[in-house]
Structure 1
Amino acid sequence: MLVDSHAHVDAPRFKKDRDAVLRAAFAGGIGYIVDPGCDLESSRAAIALAQSYPGQIFAAVGVHPHEATSYNEEVEAQLRSLARAPEVVAIGEFGLDYFRMLSPRDVQRAVFCAHLELARSCNLPCIIHVRDAHEDVIELLRAHGRGLRGVFHCFSGDVAQAEECLSFEGFMLSFAGPLTRPGNALPAVASMVPLDRVLVETDSPYLVPLPLRARRNEPLFVKHVAQKLAEIRGLTLDEIAQITTANATRLFGLGERHEAV
């Protein structure tokens, strides 16, 4: 069994065939899927989808840095209320994205810190998005994130950056489709990350892994990321599946939430 630890299956690109995509994933050995929100609407949609697939899909609630300007006290109150649902296993995805800069830097930083406090008060792990903003994320986590746990989703940095992320004992690194692609430092990162702190994901519908040429990523395709990770670590796919499933289950409390749903 594999866990797709980050997949936006609530997204509009799955509207026409969402149930078929999910049936194929579960039939193909994907045991659990974590669907993170990107704003209030998608957070609600993720919960509704999790309620339709109890014990198989779980939700996270949060505001993506692209949408940081939409965050206010009312949104925070709504997220806090949504986080009480038994299907919700994390706060996210949230973070900093200085690549596209769809929200001002100071707003992104303030909303990032607000999410850290929300995760702390809800006693839930964080799902953190980082793009071209590693230094600021580390700075803010050192100042406001001590004692929290979570995952740097779709990790895209180098070994030195990975080591800084892993200095936060409660955090894991998650690999997605870019691990299967040439021209980056991810194989070196995947070689050094402790096996008890690694996850796999698709970030569906984005980042289709090689060797696939599909136009849309799907949870079933997480097996290609897991296979690449297995090759890098000199392990079998089954071994990596067991390791990453145990890690996801431990971080998100999936077994506990399964019983509660």
Structure 2
Amino acid sequence: MLIDSHTHIDTSRFDADRAEVIAAAFAGGVTRMIDPGCDLPSSQAALLLAKAYPGRIFAGVGVHPHESTTYTPEVEAHLRQMLQEPEVVAVGEFGLDYFRMLSPRDVQREVFCAHLRLAREYNRPCIIHVREAHEDVVELLRAYGQDLRGVFHCFSGDVAQAEECLSFPGFLLSFAGPLTKQGNALPDVARMVPLERVLVETDSPYLVPKPEKARRNEPLFVRHTAAKLAELRGMTLEEIARVTTANAVRLFGLGEIHEAV
């Protein structure tokens, strides 16, 4: 019983077999999944998908830092409208990405803060993307997000950065495919993060985990990341599944929604 806390199953790479991929995930023990939008069209697509799979797929709505220049008052109005839908359980994904710099830094920061305001106003958790921008994310959260909750999705930092992220009591860390690979500090992070503050995800169709050889990630593969996390913590896969499922249910309010459907 696992929850894929971050999958872009709405994207065009699943157009040919989306229903089959979703069915395979459910059959393989993924009970629920969260699909965060990256811009207005993908946020709308995620909501439609959530409505098509009530109680099984949930949506996040937001604008990825790569798309920050598309964030307008009109886009925000649409996000506000969607945040009133029960299937929308999060604001995001949004954040800062200084690696590719597809949007100017000042615009990214401004749009980041706009999402924090939405999260506070609509009482939704944040799904935060961070790449080569850790210090600025921490700075903005300290200034404007101390009272918020959410997840640093696909966490990719080291132990010191993890400790700074965990200094925000409402935030969790989520691990994806990179945890299964060598050459990063994630095993050390996975060992130190409190169990009640950890999630697993695929970020599919990206970041295929080992030992899969597929060119496209999918929600079913979240079990590989969960298995690696279990190995690092000296736990069974079933134990990690229970813990991460409970954490996702608590953070995103899935229990109440799931039971009501």
The two structures have a TM-score, normalised by structure 1, of 0.99
How many residues end up aligned between the 2 structures? 261
Give secondary structure in 2 for the equivalent of 1:212: coil
Give secondary structure in 1 for the equivalent of 2:55: coil
In structure 1, the partner of 2:131 is: 131
| One-letter amino acid of the structure 2 residue matched with residue 223 of structure 1 | R
In structure 1, the partner of 2:41 is: 41
Once the two structures are superposed, the pairs formed by residues 61-140 of structure 1 within 5 Å of their partners are 61-140=61-140
Deviation at 1:259, TM superposition (A): 4.0
Q: Distance in 1 between matches of 2:42 and 2:149?
A: 23
| One-letter amino acid of the structure 2 residue matched with residue 190 of structure 1 | A
| One-letter amino acid of the structure 2 residue matched with residue 99 of structure 1 | F
| One-letter amino acid of the structure 2 residue matched with residue 193 of structure 1 | V
Q: Is the 8 A contact 1:6 1:36 kept in 2?
A: yes
Root-mean-square deviation (CA), in Å?
A: 0.6
Q: Distance in 2 between matches of 1:189 and 1:46?
A: 30
Deviations 1:71-106 (A, max 9, x none): 011111110110111100000000000000000000
Q: Distance in 1 between matches of 2:208 and 2:171?
A: 25
Give secondary structure in 1 for the equivalent of 2:31: strand
Deviations 1:170-207 (A, max 9, x none): 00000000000000000000000000000000000000
Q: Distance in 2 between matches of 1:260 and 1:81?
A: 22
In structure 2, the partner of 1:59 is: 59
In structure 1, the partner of 2:170 is: 170
Deviations 1:41-63 (A, max 9, x none): 00000000011111100000000
Give secondary structure in 1 for the equivalent of 2:89: strand
Deviation at 1:258, TM superposition (A): 2.1
Q: Is the 8 A contact 1:202 1:219 kept in 2?
A: yes
Q: Distance in 2 between matches of 1:157 and 1:206?
A: 18
In structure 1, the partner of 2:224 is: 224
Identity of aligned residues (%): 75
Deviation at 1:243, TM superposition (A): 0.2
| One-letter amino acid of the structure 2 residue matched with residue 175 of structure 1 | F
In structure 1, the partner of 2:145 is: 145
Q: Is the 8 A contact 1:86 1:260 kept in 2?
A: no
In structure 1, the partner of 2:183 is: 183
Q: Distance in 2 between matches of 1:115 and 1:130?
A: 14
Once the two structures are superposed, the pairs formed by residues 218-257 of structure 1 within 5 Å of their partners are 218-257=218-257
Deviations 1:217-247 (A, max 9, x none): 0000000000000000000000000000000
Deviation at 1:260, TM superposition (A): 4.7
Give secondary structure in 2 for the equivalent of 1:208: coil
The two structures have a TM-score, normalised by structure 2, of 0.99
Q: Is the 8 A contact 1:89 1:257 kept in 2?
A: no
Instruction: Mark the runs of 5 or more structure 2 residues left unpaired by the alignment.
Output: none
1:26 aligns with 2:26: yes
Q: Distance in 2 between matches of 1:210 and 1:47?
A: 30
Q: Distance in 2 between matches of 1:96 and 1:206?
A: 18
Deviation at 1:15, TM superposition (A): 0.1
| One-letter amino acid of the structure 1 residue matched with residue 87 of structure 2 | E
Give secondary structure in 2 for the equivalent of 1:174: strand
Once the two structures are superposed, the pairs formed by residues 6-17 of structure 1 within 5 Å of their partners are 6-17=6-17
Q: Distance in 1 between matches of 2:2 and 2:60?
A: 19
Deviation at 1:257, TM superposition (A): 1.9
Give secondary structure in 2 for the equivalent of 1:59: strand
In structure 1, the partner of 2:215 is: 215
Q: Distance in 2 between matches of 1:260 and 1:8?
A: 25
Q: Distance in 2 between matches of 1:19 and 1:114?
A: 34
